[in-house]
């Protein structure tokens, strides 16, 4: 997993008035939990944009007044109109403690069903995994070259070393749907 650094300052004043002042100053209040203590901090909104608006998953090295915490984003709350981040929850990560996180799915190859005229559908863009932070990859690679028309790959068909998938085993990750054109070509072929 990639790491990204983020500078933050510890918050002493908590509550609506203090957080409103922070947001007006271009700061985002955040909470770091999962360690010995819960830490309330704030960081610049512009620093969060490269972290939030990307499909990649990062381990964040949070520098809170000189003390560095390894963490992952657990939850982000957005403003309903401006779509800016208004609050971020971080989960502190330790080398010996497993973490649960969503990792994006990356499809590799050209499906046989697509060559035959089908349409590829990526049903799940991210899958929930559990494992040690050092073992987690940037993306979950799924080989789709043998995927035929009307077929799909379920979570139960996937297996990876060093971490486990937490999604339902019957949940479809990717499938190839039969299109009208493929159906019509199949029927005209049968009539001849």
Four-residue CA torsion sign, 81, 75, 143, 121: negative
Q: What is the pLDDT of residue 187?
A: 58
Task: Give the CATH class of 2-93.
Answer: mainly beta
Phi/psi at 65 (nearest 5 deg)? 50, 45
Stretch 14-36: mean pLDDT, rounded? 84
CB atoms within 10 A of CB 80: 7
Span 118-131, pLDDT tens digits:
888 888 888 888 88
Q: Which residues belong to CATH 2.170.120.20 in the chain?
A: 100-191
Distance CA 72, CA 129 (A): 13
Residue whose token pair is 């990307």: 54
CATH 2.40.240.10 location in the chain: 2-93
The answer to whether 105 and 129 are in contact (CB under 8 A) is no
Give the ranges where 70-171 is alpha helix by DSSP (H).
112-115
pLDDT tens digits for 33-83?
Answer: 887 888 888 888 888 777 888 777 878 888 888 888 888 888 888 888 888
Mean pLDDT of all residues in the chain?
83
Do β-strands 27-33 and 67-78 pair in parallel, antiparallel, or remain unpaired? unpaired
Pairing of strands 85-92, 27-33: parallel
Residue 147's pLDDT is what?
A: 85
Q: Which CATH class for the 100-191 domain?
A: mainly beta
């Amino acid at each position: 997993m990639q790491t990204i650094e983020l500078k933050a300052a510890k918050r002493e004043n908590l509550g609506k008035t203090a957080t409103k002042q922070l947001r007006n100053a271009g700061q985002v209040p955040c909470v770091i939990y999962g360690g010995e203590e819960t830490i309330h901090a704030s960081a610049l909104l512009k620093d969060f944009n490269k972290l939030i608006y990307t499909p990649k998953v990062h381990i964040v090295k949070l520098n809170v007044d000189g003390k560095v915490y390894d963490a992952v984003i657990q939850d982000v709350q957005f403003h309903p109109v401006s779509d800016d981040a208004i609050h971020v929850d971080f989960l502190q990560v330790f080398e010996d403690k497993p973490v649960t996180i969503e990792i994006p799915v990356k499809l590799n190859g050209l499906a046989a069903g697509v060559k035959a005229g089908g349409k590829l559908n990526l049903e799940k863009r991210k899958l929930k995994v559990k494992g040690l932070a050092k073992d987690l990859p940037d993306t979950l690679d799924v080989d789709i070259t043998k995927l035929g028309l009307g077929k799909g790959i379920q979570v139960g068909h996937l297996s990876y070393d060093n971490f486990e998938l937490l999604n339902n085993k019957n949940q479809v990750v990717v499938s190839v749907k039969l299109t009208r054109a493929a159906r019509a070509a199949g029927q005209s072929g049968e009539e001849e």
